[in-house]
Structure 1
Amino acid sequence: MASPAVPIFLSRLDASLVDPATVTYLQDLVNFLHRRCFHIACDGQIAAMEDPTFDIFRLRPEPSLLAGVPDQVAAAIATLEELLQQGSPVLAAYTRAAARIRRAEQQQQEAFNAAMSELHDAECAVADYLDAYDAARAHLAWNRHAIRCSAARVMAVTSSVLIGDEASVAAMMAALVQNLMFYQYREQAMLIGVSRMAPYYYAALRRHQIALARVGAVYSTMDGAGDEERVIRDGARHFNESVAVLCEYMA
């Protein structure tokens, strides 16, 4: 595709030398293309597949009447038609690329939603383990207080002169010691329970970190887009050069 270079000087349109249908066609093209980028022009042509009134070539004379139009302008028009007419390779590549981008955006949104859901679940799991740990610590603190109280009572009994028979004293000491041992055994069970919580907590924390990383991840583009992106870039360059020639001619 040979795109016309923008000339240093290009004569303006002399409507008296050009077929009126061609003048109307060129004016309509300029009105649509002036200050519009290649992507907007492609989007318009894609929309024209559903509604022909959007087709920028709808006023094209058949057969094309370019008598009196400079060669550079004729080449610019031919380039634009080759780029943007229905069925052109460039427009087809752009259509596929646009669909691929939409799919990628949808996939990214779905992946983001899934990652956010996983992050929420992980945060809840971490919070649950922290709540359970705080509750276990509170129970452990209460149990240790009970141990201290029981030990103090045992010490008080052993250091005091009690009035009563030996059987009563022995029974009281046995009850106090048994109570103390109960709290001590329960403390050991609580400590084991707390220690067993740690791996689950760290697993939940790791899950949270992974979910957080997923939320911030950059998703890779789909394979096979490289060649089409090159076609689209080249098409955009030819488009800009051709529009510049046409706008200069119709100014």
Structure 2
Amino acid sequence: MQGWIFLTYSIFQVCVVLKTSDAVNVALGKPAYQTDTYHAYRVTADRAVDGNSSSDLMRDESCTHTSSVNVSWWVNLQQIFLIRSVTIYNRNAFSYRLTHVELYVGFSEHGFQAREGFHPGQIGASYMVSLTEPVYGQWVRITRNPPVEQLTLCEVEVEGIPYSKADGIRYSIFQGYIDTGPAIDVFEMIKSKFVCASRCSKTETCISAHYNTVTLTCSLFDSLEIQQGDVEYDVTLVNSIAITEKSWAQLLGH
């Protein structure tokens, strides 16, 4: 049975016990993208999720390669997962390019994504970003800060467990905040914030909902773009899987 727990203006962290056998590579074969592609070889973004971690780009053509420098690579996992770790495989030549690597996780392609991992300096043949607290998301993005020449990835493995709203939902209530992103649906004449949360819970991709106590409108969102609004009339309800210590601090600029 589905239920809701409401937490007022606080950050609630979901406690989850992970078993190694439960998590699998959920990025394998999923749609992948990169800012641009080097024209000389078959080095498209999907090469990083083809199941081949060979580091020899010239021989196997199983690595990605961009043509410009300030770029990103990202993958759509096609549903929300509890992400346990992300493993990145480097190229055997020009390996110094995979330096100062950043890992971002989010619920939409162009909305807010939290930086959940960073590796200062050059990585070796491979590097695993282990997420010590529960991190949920559908989109995983890899970039570098600062970038060093072009970006090449020979494989990206995302170890995750599927998330289902049927397991129950916890909402955090943020009084005086609004979500400024594009709404995926809007309902009028909604009598309370709890009814608004219920509408969000019944929409598979809904992560947050904004309720206005004056207009009685309920707007649903599949990503987080939170900022301060009217402290009396604006209420934002956020599925607590979207809130981690890192994501909330980055979102509000703390």
Q: Which TM-score applies when normalising by structure 1?
A: 0.18
Higher strand share: 2
Which structure exhibits the higher relative contact order, with contacts defined as CA atoms closer than 8 Å and separated by 6 or more residues?
1
Higher helix share: 1
